Structure 1
């Protein structure tokens, strides 16, 4: 790693990381804060019972609102968390590699006495630092919010931390293939399209697989199927195989990106 480059890139992307972190924490605190007003609402429970089971499953509401942990899993981690982190991974990976290659700015980095592998590895660390920071601040916000805002309703900290850990590994994997696309193409828009397209397809496969039993097999080819916050909140998820799979996919993607970037021809 080149520490000077790492420090400079953190300065460039620091505001973005902070913005996503605050945004994620704010939305989570908002959801935690409204829980007491609907926790004992019979009307809400009745409404959920009237909805199709597949629809509830698709949007993480099949666990109901039995406790704060399940409510947060369904209302935040099943959609908003995925949306926020997906956008961060795709956009930042694109800015760290593809944009520099497309605009020729990578030439300034390559002119320094640093190998291509070291430069790519440093850029990857900047991306991962952002993901870890966003998830960490979100986790702290959730625990603190449950303690200060809704002290009468307990948050299962162990399950909540597990939920965030699996989420972290999911976006380690997503950021991995986003970084890979950004490192192997010359065009910024093409890299962005590939990353966003693959992520969108994964999400659609998972969503459609939940909604229709006949095509449930589509979930087998979606990364998002590995992240099941509702099941984690209930303590029913088998996390070890999922964590190993997501970590392995992320590592392979980053390693391939760094190796290919170090050997490819660049039109600069």
Structure 2
């Protein structure tokens, strides 16, 4: 890794990282603030959820509102966080690789002592650092929200909450790896952004459609988002295999991106 490039890229992108981090923190604090008022009406709300078509509740992760973590998993981790981090992965991976090639900045970087492999590895490290920072601040905000708004009466299951955040990080480690691979193979910024966005939100759409009806449930097998199951975490299911698969997808994607970037022809 090129330490100088890493520091410079973090400096360039830190404002964006922090904007997404504090946006995520704001939303999760809002969820914690809302829950005590909702907790007194959980029976009525659960009845309303049960009256909905089964696919609707499954698609949007509505697992009941009997606990703070169940409420947050459905209202935040099941949709809002997924959309936020999908945008981060697509946008940042494009900026870190394809944009530099498209604008000619990559030629300047490679004219120094830095090799292609080191540059690609460094840019991948910046992307992973950004994702980790967003999830770390989200997790800290969750613990703060628990202390400020819930207290002993609605105590948060901290181990379950940490597992939800770990699952979210691993999902977007995988999505980020795929987006980074696309960006590493592209010369055109807009094309890389479009393809990465189509893949990321295509996977999301396939997972959503598969949840809506049991007749098309098989569609979920085509999406890596099916490996992200915050509702099952709340129910205490063992998702170690899903965690391992997401980590492997991310590692393989980032490794392929670095390897192929080293060997491809560049318009320098």
Output the TM-score relative to the length of structure 1. Answer: 0.97
Q: CA deviation at 1:44?
A: 2.3
The separation in 2 between residues aligned to 1:180 and 1:189, in whole angstroms, is 15
Aligned residue pairs, count: 266
Deviations 1:34-90 (A, max 9, x none): 0011112144233223211111111001x2101001000010000011011111111
Q: CA deviation at 1:149?
A: 1.3
Match of 1:107 in 2: 107
Match of 1:190 in 2: 191
Deviations 1:189-225 (A, max 9, x none): 1111111001111111111111111110011111111
The separation in 2 between residues aligned to 1:76 and 1:233, in whole angstroms, is 13
Deviations 1:112-168 (A, max 9, x none): 111100010001000000000000110111111111111121111001101111111
The separation in 2 between residues aligned to 1:45 and 1:259, in whole angstroms, is 50
The separation in 2 between residues aligned to 1:64 and 1:125, in whole angstroms, is 38
1:205 aligns with 2:206: yes
Is the CA contact (8 Å cut-off) linking 2:36 and 2:149 kept in structure 1?
Answer: no
Match of 2:251 in 1: 251
Is the CA contact (8 Å cut-off) linking 2:176 and 2:250 kept in structure 1?
Answer: yes
Match of 2:97 in 1: 97
Is the CA contact (8 Å cut-off) linking 2:86 and 2:201 kept in structure 1?
Answer: no
RMSD: 0.9
SS of the aligned residue for 2:150 comes to coil
Deviations 1:164-198 (A, max 9, x none): 11111110000001000000011111111111001
The separation in 2 between residues aligned to 1:201 and 1:230, in whole angstroms, is 21
